[in-house]
Chain A
Amino acid sequence: MSDAPLDIRTTGLGKRYGDRVAVEALDLEVTRGELFGLLGPNGAGKSTTIGMLTTLVRPDSGSGEVAGFDIARSRRDVRRRIGIVFQDPTLDIHLTVAENLRFHAELYDMPRARIAPRIDDLLELLEVSERRGDLVRTLSGGLRRRVELARALLHEPQVLFLDEPTLGLDPRARATVTEQVTRLRRELGTTVVLTTHYLAEADGCDRIAVMDQGGIVALDTPAALRAAHGQGGAPAANLDEVFLAVTGRDLRDADALEPALDDARAADRNRSGRSG
C-alpha cells in the first residue's frame, strides 16, 4: 500500500465561518483504492472537509490535492475526476431515473457513444434497471440513494465522495447501500471517502479518521483504533468506545453537545424536509 499513489493529500487545510472554526489544520493522505472513513458527530467538520475536497467550499488556509489537482486552483480538473453523493438528496424528482443520469453525463462531458451503455451498466450494477423509466418521485428513499450512487459513478470518477450516504434511510435500505458501496469499491477499484456516524459503516473502512471539533483526533485502521483505545488493556469493543476514549464524550451524545454547523447548514438546505 505504501507505494500506491495518493489520491488525496491535504496540508494544514482549514475553514472558518465567521468566528467559528469548522475545520482546522487538517493533514490527510488517502491512497488510491482506499475506502476511507471520516467518523464523528455532527458539527465535527466532516461535511466541511468533504466540501473543500470537492471544491464546493473554498478553504481559508492550507492546501489540498485531489486526484492530482489542486482543490483551490484547478477546481474544474478536480471536479471532472470526482463523484459526489451529497448528504441531502439531489435528484430531480420530476425526471426519470434515466433522464437524471443522462443530464449528469452531458454536464460531465462524457463521450456521447459511451453514455447509454454506461447508464445501462451502472443501473444494472446498482440493481435499479427495472426502474429506469420511472419518475424519481415514485422511488423510495433507498432506491433514490442507489440512483445517486449510480449517477456519481457515471463519469468514471477516480475518487468517490459519500457524505452520510445512508442518512435518513431505514435500517434495511441502509444495509443495502453499505453493502453496495463495499461491492462497488471492490469491483471498480475507486477510491472512496465517506463520512458517517454509523459505526457499522465506519467499521468496513480500510482506515478511519475520527474527527471532533474541526480536527482529526485519531487515525488508523478500525482494528488498530480498537486495540489502542480499549479500557484496562482490553481492546475497545466498538468504535463508540474509541470515540469516548479519544474525546472523553459519547459519539451519540456529542451531537447534542455541539450546536452543529453542519446541522445549521443542513437545516438551511433542507428547509422543506427530506423527501423519501
Chain B
Amino acid sequence: MSAAPNDTRPPRRRFERIRPELRTVRMVAWRELLIFRRNPQRLLVTLVQPLAFLLILGTGLQAAALAVGGIDYRTYIYPGVVGMAVLMPAFFAAGSVVYDREFGFLREMLAAPVDRWAIVLGKCIGGATVAALHGAVVVAAAGLVDVPYTAKIVFGLLGLAWLLGFLLVALGLVLAARARQFQSYMSLVNLVALPMLLASGALFPLSGLPNWLGVLTRLDPLAYIVDPMRRLVFPALDFSEPIAQEVWLVPSEVRVTWGDWIVPLSLELGIVTMLALAAIFGAARRFERDQ
C-alpha cells in the first residue's frame, strides 16, 4: 500500500506504531454510537427502572422517612439512581460483543492487523458514552428532586456517569468475551448487577453498617463512584433538622472509609480507573485466546 501524497503523518515513532490501534478505537466506538443513534428507543426502555426507583420507591419511602423527620429521600438516592441508569446500558453495550460473535462481525474485527486491546477499548469508550447518555436523562431530571442545575453538579455527574459506564463495559466485556449466547451472558450480569448496585450503598448511608455489609460495600467498585456523585449532590440536601442527622447522618460522614480513614476523591477515581484498565487487559487476553 502506498501512502497518498496528501497523507501527512506526524513523524513521531511511538504514535506511528499504534496508529492502527488508535484508528480502531475510534472506529469501534463510532460504531457503538451509530447503532445507538439508529435505535434511540432503547433509551426509554432502559430508563424505566431507574426512574421507577427514583419516583415510585423514592416517593414511597419519602413518605415513611417524613414520619421520622428529615431529608428528602429522593434527593438522597438521586446519585445512586444516576448510577443505576448507567448500569444496564453499560452491560448491554458489553453484551453486544456476544451478538457480534453470533453474527460473525467479531471475526472481521479479530482478523484485522490490530491488537485486541484496541477493539476492547473502543467498545468501552463507545459503550460508556451510550451509557452516559442514559445517565444524562436522569441528570436532566435533577430538578424533580430539588437538585440544582449548577455546572459543577451537571458536568460532574455526567463525567462520573461516563467513568462508571467505562468501568462497567470493561467488566462486562470480561464476562462477554467467552460467552457464546447473549442469554448466558445476561444471566451472569443479572447475578452481579443488582448486588453490585445495592452494595454500593446507593440507597443507604455507609457508616454504621454491620461488619459484613461494611466490608462488602468497600469491596464494591461502584461504591467508589457513587460516593463522588454524592459529594456533588449532598450539599443540596437539608440536614438541618437534628432528627435527620441522627437517622441519615450528616454529609461529611457519608464518605467511604477504610477503618477511620476517609478515602480521598483522587484515590476513589484512581481505583475505578485502574480496575477498568485491568478489566480491559483481561478482556483483551480472553479474546486473544479465542482464535
Interface residue from A54, A106, A107, A114 paired with B4 (Cβ < 8 Å): A114
Encode contact with A along B173-199: 1 for CB under 8 Å, 0 otherwise. Answer: 000000011000000000000000000
Q: What are 20 residue pairs bridging A and B, where the CB atoms are less than 8 Å apart in the complex?
A: A79-B113, A90-B105, A90-B108, A92-B31, A92-B103, A92-B105, A92-B108, A93-B103, A102-B27, A103-B27, A104-B112, A106-B26, A107-B20, A107-B24, A108-B20, A111-B1, A113-B4, A272-B102, A272-B103, A275-B103
Could you tell me if A107 and B27 are in contact, using CB atoms closer than 8 angstroms?
Answer: yes
**Residues of chain B from 1 to 24 with CB closer than 8 A to chain A in the complex:** 1-4, 6-7, 19-20, 23-24
Set of chain B residues within 8 Å of A269, measured between Cβ atoms: 101, 104, 107
A107–B20 CA distance with the chains assembled, in angstroms: 6
Closest chain B residue to A114, Cβ basis? B4
List the A side residues contacting B109 at CB < 8 Å: 107
Report if B140 contacts A (CB, 8 A): no
Taking a contact as CB atoms under 8 Å apart, the answer to whether A54 and B104 are in contact is no
> A150-164 CB contact bits vs B (8 Å, 1 = yes)?
010001100000000
State A163–B192 Cα separation when bound (angstroms): 40
- Chain B residues within an 8 Å CB radius of A271: 102, 180-181
How distant is the Cα of A84 from the Cα of B7 in the complex, in angstroms? 26
- Within B100-141, the residues touching A (CB, 8 Å) are 100-105, 107-114
DSSP majority for the B interface? helix
Measured in the bound complex, the distance between the Cα atoms of B105 and A271 in whole Å is: 14
B residues apposed to A, CB below 8 Å: 1-4, 6-7, 19-20, 23-24, 26-27, 31, 34-35, 38, 100-105, 107-114, 180-181, 291
Query: Cβ of A20 < 8 Å from any Cβ of B?
Result: no
A60-118 residues with Cβ-Cβ distance < 8 A to B are 75-77, 79-80, 84, 86, 88-95, 99, 102-104, 106-114
Q: Give B112's nearest chain A residue, CB to CB.
A: A107
In the complex, what's the smallest C-beta–C-beta distance from B177 to chain A, in angstroms? 16
> With a CB–CB cut-off of 8 A, which chain A residues contact B102?
271-272
Distance (Å) between the CB of A101 and the closest chain B CB? Answer: 11
| Residue pair B34, A99 in contact (C-beta under 8 Å) | yes
Given contacts A91-B104, A109-B20, 6 further A-B contacts (CB under 8 A): A56-B111, A102-B27, A106-B23, A107-B23, A107-B112, A272-B102
A57 interfacial contact with B, CB 8 Å: yes
